[in-house]
Amino acid sequence: MIQNKSKTQTDKIRKARIEWLEGGVPRSARFGDPYYSRQDGLAETRHVFLEGNMLAERFAGCRNFVVAELGFGTGLNFLATASLWKETAPENAELAFFSFEQFPIAARDMGTALNAWPQLHPMATALTKAWEERPPDEGLFSFELGNVRLAVFLDDANTSLPKAQFAADAWFLDGFAPARNPQLWNDVLMGEVYAHTRPAGTLATYSAAGWVRRNLEAAGFSTTRQPGYGGKRQMTTAHRPR
């Protein structure tokens, strides 16, 4: 399924610069935005991405499923998805998870961030170890947890997504805030997200920005506003019509 295995030179893989907020929440120094909610990142992931895409119900009745994501960050979304998969999917079902990250976080920062959720500890430890051991000049990070396979493209999604060959059942749009990181929410990239979505596939994002929804609709998605997590009033879900 993974077709794009091109390497990126070491000097082109730009590392994330992390600042730590009170409570141990990592924030991007480049974009001035936290990686997840300061209230509870795991609860936010479950509300926005897992429930927003109705994954528990869909996992329970499938044999194969593909999730794709813009913004790998700390790996929290992947681990929460893998955990839900192991709880709800049939025993022999297979999950593929594709993610895109231009500014990969250091393994030590990943481990520090994920330590906040002991329930994810075994999987988080395995992911962090593999992340630390990945070749520094490799543009594609691959990882497996039983029947769950992860591929992270370490490059700008605007460049790597058009070349990637997969069709997702569900998307997580989890880049930094659109106002701070507009290049990950532009109309051309949303068109590529649509092109890499199966008919009846779904999408969820914490953002309710009007121009983001318009870009999704221009690409072909039908969008809906939903209640957001915590103090955020709204979020967006979408689906590709059959």
Query: What percent of the chain lies above the pLDDT cut of 70?
Result: 95
SS (H, E, C) the chain: CCCCCCCCCHHHCCCCCEEEECCCEEEECCCCEECCCCCCHHHHHHHHHHHCCCHHHHHHCCCEEEEEEECCCCCHHHHHHHHHHHHHCCCCCEEEEEEECCCCCCHHHHHHHHCCCHHHHHHHHHHHHHHHHCCCCCCEEEEEECCEEEEEECCCHHHHHHHCCCCEEEEEECCCCCCCCHHHCCHHHHHHHHHCEEEEEEEEECCCCHHHHHHHHHHCCEEEEEECCCCCCEEEEEECCC
Indicate whether 6 pLDDT > 80. Answer: no
- Please, what is the average pLDDT of the chain? 94
Nearest to 240 by CA among 205, 208, 207, 193: 193
pLDDT the model gives residue 231 = 83
Q: For 62-121, how does the pLDDT look when each residue is reduced to its tens digit (9 = 90+)?
A: 999 999 999 999 999 999 999 999 999 999 999 999 999 999 999 999 999 999 999 999
Indicate whether 11 pLDDT > 70. Answer: no
Indicate whether 3 pLDDT > 70. Answer: no
Q: For 24-74, how does the pLDDT look when each residue is reduced to its tens digit (9 = 90+)?
A: 999 999 999 999 999 999 999 999 999 999 999 999 999 999 999 999 999
Kindly state the average pLDDT of the residues 199-227: 98
Q: Which residues pair with 223 in a beta bridge?
A: 238
pTM above 0.75, yes or no: yes
